[in-house]
Structure 1
Amino acid sequence: MEISISNSNSFGGPSNIIARPCMAYFRGNNRLSLIPIISPTTKNIFKSSNFPSKCSSTKDLIKPVRINGQSRFSISLSYNQHNPSPIQDCSQAQYSASSDSALAKTSRFGSACYKFLRPYAVQQAIISAICLFARVLVENPQFFKWPLMFKTFPGLVTIILAHAYYIGLNQIYDADIDRVNKPYLPIPTGELSDRQAWFLVIFYLLSGLLIMWLMNADLITLSLYCLGLFFGTFYSAPPFRFKRYSLATSIFLPLTTGAIHNVGILYATRASIGLPFWWSPPIVFITTFVTLFFVVISITKDLTDVEGDMKHNIQTFAAIFGLRKIAFFCTGILLVNYMGAIAAAIYLPQVFKRYLMLPAHSIFPLWLLFQVRKLDKENYSKEACANFFQFLWKLLNLEYLLFPFI
């Protein structure tokens, strides 16, 4: 038996056929048989527009050629002889698919990590840290130097890592509750596994402590940082799990993200430029204002979570007293807060700038009342409660942005 296959382009046109069928002839008993040899993946090959439907003559299809002085038959099919082989095409396609798959997985994991951070909370930590640092420099402009700016950058990273740790740990222990209250978070959706979430949380914790060690943080700064980590841990984690109790939540959350956060940043900033810490009126004002504000945030965060909290026996103020009463109660606390800011501007003109304090702290509460009225009109729907909660974070950020200039 003899087989001869030719890959000349006898039909005169390029083709995009990837897997190429061929014809072979078998000589035996003075008979010639032509048998198509076609790959299983080429079942639709003859439907290609580049394959000729008709041949003008058998001469166009079967050509006699001479090899080693003997006559042989060659079958010419229409494909571009410069095209790569089917095996090469397949390997290239597999490599491209695997590259796309790896890129897509990396992109999805990055997106899940971003959502795991709860960006609005981390954004608030960044804004507050920068504004508190800026206030110290406004009070002491002679210490403004660019090397100091670069030196404080690792400190900002540790603050971000600490908040990422609090937030991530809370999501791990609240995974079952979030499947009801916040099904869009990465753990309930399956974008992050429990193992991946734990890896991220431990990474945040160890990285923050490592940076503090590399910065040679003094004992007080390190103690305040670890105290914040302690309260942040047992807010979510057993055996204490303070978040199960509304009163404990309204104490420990403001203490961690309000008082300890502010004092720690202000102390570390002053220590970095060689100044002792002291309770100046602006520091007393911002610490008091923000701590009360976080009391409100610690209560209103449960407005959207009543269903899941009641299902898992977490007795929040919102679940006990109802959404409307809690919304009005928290609004009252903030109105008292703003009245205190106005009083401070009036009675301490030598400390605060009235032309900024009075207008700002008159506009903010009016805006708050408008949002509460809107929430009431929308009958405290889950979406309306979520929007109101996000609005409170905006008000808090505005207060921090105002602080360096008052």
Structure 2
Amino acid sequence: MELSISYSSFRGPTIIPQRFKASAHDNRLIPIKTTTNQLSLPPVQQLYGESRFSKSFFCGQHKRNPIRACDQVEPAGSDSDSVLAKAQFESGSSDPVLAKVTRFGSVYYKFLRPYATHEAIISAICLFARVFVENPQLFRWPLLFKAFPGLIAIILTHAYFIGINQIYDVDIDRVNKPYLPIPAGDVSLKQAWFLMIFNLLVGLLIFRLMDADLITTSIYCLGIFFSTFYSAPPFRFKKYSITASIVLPLTCSVLHNVGVVYATRASLGLPFMWSPPVVFITTFATLFFVVLSIIKDLTDVEGDMKYNIRTFAAIFGPKNITFLGTGILLVNYTGAIAATVFMPKAFKSYIMLPAHAIFALWLLFQARKLDKANYTKEASANFFQFLWKLLNLEFILFLFI
């Protein structure tokens, strides 16, 4: 008898009998030939198989959008693929409820664009902790539990920002990022809208339950306004590079940093004030987000040009924009070193000087690596991911300067 394995694109692997012969030494049957037909699916489907994510979140099935089969991969450094693979593996579990919840969680996590969400979490925690570094006598462990709902609200408004952008960019993403949940068919537009409304309302409810003061609530609502109209008409700030490079830093750096520091100090009964480290990190992060707002478009030139989104990358080309972004960041690092030299009492020079020199050299190395790769889509995505890591490192360093 003989076993061979064949593959059906609709039903998966099928086992067919195959010939066996008895061993001369015992009566066990051992296979003498096994044939495996070469799988003809694209690499993504070979790895993950057919999606069983429900048409609604909790019941039913639907066929994944065929564009998923394109040879597109998520930018290097994103760990959402491993989460999705794990979820799909677990979907065969004997507990259907757990499998559905796991699938929902993995897709929602991917919907959040993890690299950006991680930065929001890290920066919020570091800004919160910096207030206690400057006022150690006020620290009490129960304050961490009181602040945790505020962190959840920040994550939800950040998720709202990212989700609204994906909803209004769905046609562009079918060209530039077909692996994202909406163009890939993992989430419908109706489901995406439900999630965004949920994020918005729960975030506002948390602020209400925390009895946030008028200034804190106003900063939060202003962030929601810019998050919405960055992508949504009639303003759609992202359509033009100038407005995008203003609104993105304003929302993700200025409002975010000021809001977290103000809310933390207000909860402790402290007046708001700008310490040199807070001024430094806000200025540094604002310039960094200016760079991120132009570098993020390196991989999206094709779709942006098709839908008349006039980004700097589409107008001037990836090489010139990379040169510009790298130059701005080098000014950032040079400014950090200069601030340390001219304000030795405000900063710890033994940390600031070597750290920013290393970061600057690392940036130059990665920019040169991108140039050698001739600004391919994959190399550009890797460079963009690298910049987010540099920004995260800066916020962690902020705690010790």
TM-score tier, shorter chain, comes to: 0.7 to 0.9
1: CA distance, partners of 2:180 / 2:96: 23
Instruction: Tell me which residue corresponds to 2:162.
Output: 167
How far 1:282 moved relative to its partner?
Answer: 1.3
2: CA distance, partners of 1:123 / 1:393: 9
2: CA distance, partners of 1:141 / 1:101: 49
Instruction: Tell me which residue corresponds to 1:76.
Output: none
Q: 1:212 aligns with which of 190, 207, 216?
A: 207
TM-score (norm 2): 0.76
Instruction: Tell me which residue corresponds to 1:237.
Output: 232
Amino acid at match of 1:171: Q
How far 1:108 moved relative to its partner?
Answer: 2.5
Whether contact under 8 Å (2:292, 2:387) holds in the other structure is: yes
Residue 250 in structure 1 maps to residue 245 in structure 2: yes
Instruction: Give a deviation string over 1:114-150, Cα, whole Å, max 9, x none.
Output: 1101111111000000101111100000011011111
2: CA distance, partners of 1:103 / 1:255: 40
Number of residue pairs the alignment of both structures matches:
311
Residue 137 in structure 1 maps to residue 132 in structure 2: yes
Amino acid at match of 2:121: I
Instruction: Give a deviation string over 1:246-278, Cα, whole Å, max 9, x none.
Output: 000000000000100000000001111110001
Instruction: Tell me which residue corresponds to 2:300.
Output: 305
User: Which structure's CA Rg is the greater one?
Assistant: 1
Whether contact under 8 Å (1:246, 1:299) holds in the other structure is: yes
1: CA distance, partners of 2:96 / 2:124: 39
- What pairs up with 1:83-98 in 2 under 5 angstroms? none
1: CA distance, partners of 2:114 / 2:133: 28
Whether contact under 8 Å (1:345, 1:353) holds in the other structure is: yes
Instruction: Tell me which residue corresponds to 2:277.
Output: 282
Whether contact under 8 Å (1:246, 1:316) holds in the other structure is: yes
SS in 2 for 1:305: helix
Instruction: Tell me which residue corresponds to 1:117.
Output: 112
Amino acid at match of 2:243: A
SS in 2 for 1:172: helix
Residue 201 in structure 1 maps to residue 200 in structure 2: no
Cα 1:145–1:100 change in 2 (3 A) is closer
How far 1:106 moved relative to its partner?
Answer: 3.4
Cα 1:191–1:251 change in 2 (3 A) is same
Amino acid at match of 1:391: F
- What pairs up with 1:382-401 in 2 under 5 angstroms? 382-401=377-396
- What pairs up with 1:1-400 in 2 under 5 angstroms? 103-400=98-395
Instruction: Tell me which residue corresponds to 1:70.
Output: none
1: CA distance, partners of 2:334 / 2:182: 41
Amino acid at match of 1:218: D
1: CA distance, partners of 2:149 / 2:279: 26
How far 1:292 moved relative to its partner?
Answer: 0.3
Instruction: State, as a whole percentage, how many aligned pairs show the same letter.
Output: 75
What CA RMSD, in Å, does the superposition of the two structures yield over aligned residues?
A: 1.4
Unaligned runs of 5+ in 1: 1-96
2: CA distance, partners of 1:153 / 1:102: 28
Instruction: Give a deviation string over 1:23-55, Cα, whole Å, max 9, x none.
Output: xxxxxxxxxxxxxxxxxxxxxxxxxxxxxxxxx
Unaligned runs of 5+ in 2: 1-91
How far 1:109 moved relative to its partner?
Answer: 2.3
